[in-house]
Chains A and B, each alone.
Chain A
Amino acid sequence: MSVIEFENASYSYTGGELLSDVSLSVSTGSFYFITGPSGSGKTTFLKMCYGALVPNSGHVHLFDHDLRQMTRDEVAHASRKIGVILLDCQFLDHMSVTENIALPLAVSGEDRLSDNMNLKELLSWVGLIGRADALPPELSGGERQRAALARAVIMSPDIILADEPTGNVDWEMSQRLLQLLIELNKMGKTVLLASHDLSLIRLAKSQVQARVLRIANKRIQLAGANL
């Protein structure tokens, strides 16, 4: 079963076409890397995966619903099942780290955690137990990434989308973040991770069945074994 499906989808900003005729089916529980040169459209591709952008032509289906036919509120509702971690992860700067991480629960109207996970466990899982009451502007780059990860998974989403989550952190922190994502994948979540860090991709491939998508010349192709 596929959670995200691209069907001859094309996307262009005001300039020329950026992604052309993309067809792809992301099945449940898979682990994908999205790689490609800077400006090739990795972020654009991920934005279509969580409904922030709608293709100019062709279709993108989220959980078997055509993005084109969904209202803004339906997209918002569907995106609760998609945890998103962006490079410049943003928070509500006037609320504590804990409150920020718990915010998706408040927004969705659910006040209890699913998966028998409580907030404390989640904080210690991402190693932020000591920073629980800090405000986001007081966090380091790596701490921000981990807080964003915690916020992305608190609703127990089916899909995790991460746009260069290791962009701002050192190698050790990259490995730690990757381990967390691999753990989530082993719990059955679909993970899509945009990165051009080849050593990270190699490390992941040694631990999970990860596929690598390469964006080049407006197309997305499955990269071979040789990276």
Chain B
Amino acid sequence: MTAIYNNLIGLILGDRQRDRVVPPTGYTASLTTFTSAAMAFLAVFAIALSLAASRLSDHWSESLARSSTLRISAPAPQIQQQLDLAMEILDTTPGIASARVISLEEQRSLLEPWFGPEVPFESLPLPKLIDIEENSSGYDGQSLRLRLIADVPGAVLDDHTRWRRPLVTAAHRLWALGMFSIVLMAATSAAIITLAARAAMSANAQVISVLRLIGAQDNYISAAFVRRFTFRAFNGASLGGAFGAVVVYFFQGQTDQLSILTGLGFQGTEWLWLIIVPPLMGIVAYIATRRSAGLVLRGLS
């Protein structure tokens, strides 16, 4: 544990002398920074996509909570009779846990945002709504519809929320896809940074042989490279991540409607997810560079 801690402290504080032994320029520097920036930028979107998908599936699963609505529209004199008949049928339908007539007050509160408070709902020929909760086994929508057609001609069974089940599955898949993309991006970054580190080491073969000649151990030599690549990756990822965050911020839809497009964004504490992107990229670079430095150095003698 203390070894890891010391390594981390050494990595952050570094050693100016040691940093200087590898000449600073070279295309591997810009390659690493650019790759990390690009991957972090994409990772921001992948995270946003995953979060939006999981938000959507949460929302949909909630409304999936086994509820549907029966709507009865009929001329005023018949409506109460049809309502009673419908309740009777619902009470005897297997799979229905409860059925409840939605009161005028509730209807008013549902409609007010759309029509304003001045509308005299009492005098409007509003359809009656029955809220149906199914039990765990669920009911057979098709046969319920057939029974209703015979006795309650004005009834329309609206069970569309049940159809959202495949949508929830799709949202889950989308979330998984986002996560998988993040893993892919990390792996791609690791691959490119490995190549860059190897290129940097062969470009600095003379530096390595001089260090070796004067008694530098492998750790000393590899640390000079590892530290540099880790910081480049971290800085690149900070840059790319920040840019991605700005783009997502302006991309974010201002509507309340939930869809994968308008929901692509971060809400509240979800922004904190972005903080992990640069350190994650740093860790990826650290592991990739350390591994390839170790391999190169061991291959030398």
Contact = CB atoms under 8 A, between A and B. Distances in A.
Q: Which of B21, B214, B298, B301 has the most CB of A within 10 A?
A: B214
5 contacts: A76-B218, A92-B210, A94-B23, A106-B18, A107-B216
B206 interface: yes
A139 interface: no
A108 B207 contact: no
Given A52-B301, A72-B301, A95 B20 contact: yes
Contacts of B214: 79-80, 103-104, 107, 151
A175 B298 CA distance: 39
Contacts of B215: 76-80, 104, 107-108, 155
Contacts of A209: none
Given A76-B215, A86-B213, A99-B20, 4 more contacts: A92-B206, A104-B214, A107-B214, A107-B220
A76 B217 contact: yes
Interface residues of B, number: 22
Nearest to B21: A92
Interface string A82-117: 001010001111110001000110111000000000
A73 interface: yes
Interface string A167-194: 0000000000000000000000000000
A212 B226 CA distance: 46
Contacts of A151: 214
Contacts of B209: 90
Nearest to B214: A104
Contacts of B100: none
B89 interface: no
Contacts of A106: 17-18
Contacts of A90: 206, 209-210, 213
Contacts of A84: 213
B17 to A, nearest CB: 4
A72 B218 contact: yes
B293 to A, nearest CB: 13
B210 A91 contact: yes
Contacts of A94: 23
| Complex A-B, nearest 8 residue pairs according to Cβ-Cβ distance, in ascending order | A80-B215, A104-B214, A94-B23, A73-B217, A107-B216, A106-B17, A76-B217, A79-B215
Interface of B: 17-18, 20-21, 23, 206-207, 209-220, 297-298, 301
Contacts of A155: 215
A76 B216 contact: yes
Contacts of A103: 21, 210-211, 214
Nearest to B297: A72
A72 B211 CA distance: 13
A55 B220 CA distance: 26
Nearest to A76: B217
A52 B300 CA distance: 10
A151 B213 CA distance: 11
B23 A73 contact: no
Nearest to A75: B301
A120 B258 CA distance: 74
Interface in A131-165: 151, 155
Nearest to B18: A106
A23 B207 CA distance: 34
B130 to A, nearest CB: 80
B212 A76 contact: yes
B146 to A, nearest CB: 83
Contacts of A72: 217-218, 297-298, 301
A73 B294 CA distance: 12
Q: Which of B18, B215, B297 has the most CB of A within 10 A?
A: B215
B296 to A, nearest CB: 12
Contacts of A79: 213-215
Contact of B207 (A78, A80, A92): A92
Contacts of B23: 92-94
Contacts of B217: 72-73, 76-77
Nearest to B205: A90
A172 B295 CA distance: 45
A70 B72 CA distance: 90
Contacts of A99: 20
Contacts of B20: 95, 99
Q: Which of A73, A90, A93, A106 has the most CB of B within 10 A?
A: A106
Contacts of B206: 90, 92-93
B252 to A, nearest CB: 47
Contacts of A108: 215
A107 B218 CA distance: 11
